[in-house]
């Protein structure tokens, strides 16, 4: 797996380049998605605490993760900058790649965190 921090940085830089050096995506727009991811992360952590040897997620949690595609699509439909962000970050593919793997979900959650951090670092709007 490619270094998620590097991939996140490249996605934000590509977004910035696409928009002639500016990032029109507002911090609150990307943080809404991070909030949804963090809510799922909390549920995954509870599941892991109860099932110490688990490497796979139950169908209910896997479904919630896949539903993030719907949330992303809704936000993208409302705002062009979100659509560009979702495309540059390959968000749909990252979500689909999780499947039922706990490890892949954790990597995905870290990727979203890195996207938010690099968005802020490279001058994303407040």
pLDDT tier at 30 (50, 70, 90 boundaries)?
confident
Mean pLDDT score, 82-109: 95
pLDDT tier at 25 (50, 70, 90 boundaries)?
confident
In the prediction, which pLDDT does 20 show?
A: 84
Q: Is 96 helix (H, G, I), strand (E, B) or coil?
A: helix
Model's pTM, two decimal places?
0.92
Q: Is the per-residue pLDDT at 1 higher than 60? A: no
Q: Is 61 within 8 Å of 43 (Cβ atoms)?
A: yes
Q: Is 110 within 8 Å of 4 (Cβ atoms)?
A: yes
In the prediction, which pLDDT does 29 show?
A: 83
Q: What is the DSSP letter of 22?
A: -
Mean pLDDT score, 84-110: 96
Say how many C-beta atoms besides its own lie within 10 A of residue 73's C-beta.
15
Calpha distance 105→35 (Å, rounded): 15
In the prediction, which pLDDT does 2 show?
A: 59
């Amino acid at each position: 797996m490619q270094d998620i921090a590097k991939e996140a940085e490249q996605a934000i830089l590509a977004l910035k380049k696409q928009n002639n050096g500016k990032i029109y995506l507002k911090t609150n727009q990307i943080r809404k998605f991070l909030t949804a991811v963090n809510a799922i992360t909390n549920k995954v952590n509870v599941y892991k605490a109860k099932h110490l040897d688990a490497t796979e997620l139950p169908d209910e949690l896997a479904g919630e993760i896949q539903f993030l595609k719907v949330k992303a699509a809704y936000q993208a439909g409302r705002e062009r900058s979100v659509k560009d962000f979702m495309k540059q970050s390959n968000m749909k593919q990252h979500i689909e790649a999780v499947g039922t793997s706990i490890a892949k979900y954790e990597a995905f959650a870290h990727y979203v965190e890195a996207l938010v951090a690099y968005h802020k670092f490279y001058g994303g709007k407040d």
